[in-house]
Amino acid sequence: MRRNELFFWMTVSFSLLIMAFILIPLIRMMTAPSFSGLQEAFRDEEVMRSIWLSIYTAGWAALISFVLGTPLAYLLARVDFAGKRLVESIIDLPIVIPHPVVGIAILGVAGRGSWVGEILADLGIRIMGSVTGIVTVLTFVGLPFYVKAAKEGFESISPRLERVSRNLGASMFHTFFRITFPLAWRSLFIGLIMCAARAISEFGAVVVVAYHPMIAPVMIYERFEAYGLKYSQPVAVWLVSICLLLFLLLRFLTLRRKIEI
Amino acid sequence: MIRTENLHVDLDPFHLRDITLAVEKNDFFVLMGPTGAGKTVLLEALAGLTPIQSGRIWIGGRDVTKIPPEKRAVSIVYQDYALFPHLTVRENILYGLHFHKMDPGKAHARYQELLEALNLSPLQGRFPTYLSGGEKQRVALARALIVNPGLILLDEPLSALDPGFRQEIRGIMKKLHESSGVTFLMVTHHFAEAISLANRGAVMSNGRIEQVGTIEDIFQRPASTFVADFVGMKNLFTARFNGTRAFIGNLEIESAGPLPKGYGHIAIRPEDIVLSTERIASSMRNQFLGRVTGIFDQGFYYEVHVLADAFTFKSLLTKRSLFEMGIREGMEIFLSFKASALHTL
pLDDT digits (tens, 9 = 90+) for B282-335: 777 899 999 999 998 877 788 899 999 989 998 988 888 888 888 999 999 999
Contact flag A167-B76 (C-beta cutoff 8 Å): yes
**Does the N-terminal peptide bond of residue B163 adopt cis geometry, omega within 30 degrees of 0?**
no
Give the rounded percent of residues in chain B with a pLDDT score beyond 70.
Answer: 99
Q: Which residues of B touch A165 (CB under 8 A)?
A: 84, 95
**How many C-beta atoms lie closer than 10 Å to residue A4's C-beta?**
6
The tens digit of pLDDT for each residue in A157-192 reads: 999 999 999 999 999 999 999 999 999 998 999 899
For residue B95, give the nearest of B83, B105, B106, B103 by alpha carbon.
B83
Q: Which residues of A touch B78 (CB under 8 A)?
A: 160, 164
Q: Would an 8 Å CB–CB cutoff place A179 in contact with chain B?
A: yes
Residue of chain A whose alpha carbon sits nearest to that of B82: A161
For residue B275, give the nearest of B251, B244, B307 by alpha carbon.
B307
Residue of chain A whose alpha carbon sits nearest to that of B95: A168
| pLDDT > 70? residue A261 | no
Q: Would an 8 Å CB–CB cutoff place A183 in contact with chain B?
A: yes
Q: HSE on the CB side for A69, CA within 13 Å?
A: 30
The tens digit of pLDDT for each residue in B205-222 reads: 999 999 999 988 887 777
**How many C-beta atoms lie closer than 10 Å to residue A131's C-beta?**
15
Give the rounded percent of residues in chain A with a pLDDT score beyond 90.
Answer: 75
Cα(B228)–Cα(B242) distance, integer angstroms: 30
In CATH, A46-260 is 2.40.10.10: no
Q: Which residues of A touch B96 (CB under 8 A)?
A: 168-170
Give the closest of B70, B82, B127 to A260, CB-based: B127
Q: Which residues of B touch A182 (CB under 8 A)?
A: 86
Distance from CA of A235 to the nearest CA of B (A): 43
Per-position b or e across A18-46, b if 16+ CB within 10 A of its CB: eeeeeeeeeeeeeeebeeebbeebeebee
| pLDDT > 90? residue B341 | no
Cα(A247)–Cα(A49) distance, integer angstroms: 19
Cα(B191)–Cα(B265) distance, integer angstroms: 12
| pLDDT > 60? residue A200 | yes
For residue B77, give the nearest of B200, B172, B208, B10 by alpha carbon.
B172
Q: Which residues of B touch A183 (CB under 8 A)?
A: 84-86
Cα(A136)–Cα(A257) distance, integer angstroms: 33
The tens digit of pLDDT for each residue in A124-149 reads: 888 889 999 999 999 999 999 999 99
Model confidence at B74, in pLDDT bands (50, 70, 90)?
A: very high
Q: Which residues of A touch B84 (CB under 8 A)?
A: 161, 164-165, 179, 183
The residue type at A181: F
Contact call for residues B294 and B260 (beta carbons, < 8 A): no
DSSP state of B122: G
- Rounding to the nearest 10 degrees, give the CA dihedral for residues B282, B283, B286, B291: -20
DSSP state of B36: T
Residue B323 CB contacts under 8 Å (≥ 6 apart), including other chains: none
Contact flag A169-B147 (C-beta cutoff 8 Å): yes
The per-residue pLDDT for A260 is: 43
The listed range with the strongest mean pLDDT (B183-187, B188-192, B242-246) is B183-187
Distance from CA of B206 to the nearest CA of A (A): 23
Cα(A110)–Cα(A90) distance, integer angstroms: 20
Among A167, A186, A187, pick the best mutation site for testing chain B contact (most B Cβ within 10 A).
Answer: A167
Q: Would an 8 Å CB–CB cutoff place A158 in contact with chain B?
A: yes
Structural domains in chain B, sorted by start: 2-226 (3.40.50.300), 239-344 (2.40.50.100)
- Regarding an ipTM greater than 0.95, the answer is no
Cα(B336)–Cα(A142) distance, integer angstroms: 79
The per-residue pLDDT for A151 is: 97
Every domain of chain A and the residues it spans: 46-260
Considering all CA atoms of chain B, what is the largest pairwise distance in Å, rounded to the nearest integer?
A: 76
| pLDDT > 50? residue B228 | yes
Contact call for residues B79 and B44 (beta carbons, < 8 A): no
**How many C-beta atoms lie closer than 10 Å to residue B116's C-beta?**
10
Q: Would an 8 Å CB–CB cutoff place A49 in contact with chain B?
A: no
3-state SS assignment for residue B286 = strand
Distance from CA of A174 to the nearest CA of B (A): 9
**How many C-beta atoms lie closer than 10 Å to residue A187's C-beta?**
19
Strands B311-318 and B332-337: unpaired
Contact call for residues B220 and B30 (beta carbons, < 8 A): no
Q: Would an 8 Å CB–CB cutoff place A182 in contact with chain B?
A: yes
| pLDDT > 80? residue B82 | yes
The tens digit of pLDDT for each residue in B118-154 reads: 999 999 999 999 999 889 999 999 999 999 999 999 9
Per-position b or e across B302-315, b if 16+ CB within 10 A of its CB: bbbbbebeebbbbb
Over residues A57-78, the mean pLDDT reads 97
Contact call for residues B165 and B134 (beta carbons, < 8 A): yes
Give the closest of B99, B127, B128 to A169, CB-based: B99
Q: Would an 8 Å CB–CB cutoff place A185 in contact with chain B?
A: no
Q: Which residues of B touch A171 (CB under 8 A)?
A: 68, 70, 99
Q: Would an 8 Å CB–CB cutoff place A167 in contact with chain B?
A: yes
Contact flag A163-B49 (C-beta cutoff 8 Å): yes
Over residues A35-46, the mean pLDDT reads 91
Strands B28-32 and B200-205: parallel
3-state SS assignment for residue B137 = helix
Cα(A58)–Cα(A52) distance, integer angstroms: 10
Q: Is the dihedral of CA B269, B274, B277, B278 positive or negative?
A: negative
Cα(B149)–Cα(B144) distance, integer angstroms: 8
Q: Would an 8 Å CB–CB cutoff place A169 in contact with chain B?
A: yes
Model confidence at B171, in pLDDT bands (50, 70, 90)?
A: confident
| pLDDT > 70? residue A105 | yes
The per-residue pLDDT for A257 is: 56
The per-residue pLDDT for B191 is: 80
Q: Which residues of B touch A179 (CB under 8 A)?
A: 84
Contact flag A167-B100 (C-beta cutoff 8 Å): no
Query: Please, what is the Cα angle at A230 between A228 and A232, to 5 degrees?
Result: 75
Cα(B285)–Cα(B96) distance, integer angstroms: 56
Contact flag A167-B143 (C-beta cutoff 8 Å): no
The per-residue pLDDT for B345 is: 66
Residue of chain B whose alpha carbon sits nearest to that of A166: B70
β-bridge partners, B10: B15
Cα(B92)–Cα(A249) distance, integer angstroms: 31
Contact flag A164-B47 (C-beta cutoff 8 Å): no
Backbone phi, psi, residue B283, to 5°? -80, -5
Q: Please tell me the pTM assigned to this model.
A: 0.80
Strands B274-276 and B332-337: antiparallel
Cα(A63)–Cα(A51) distance, integer angstroms: 18
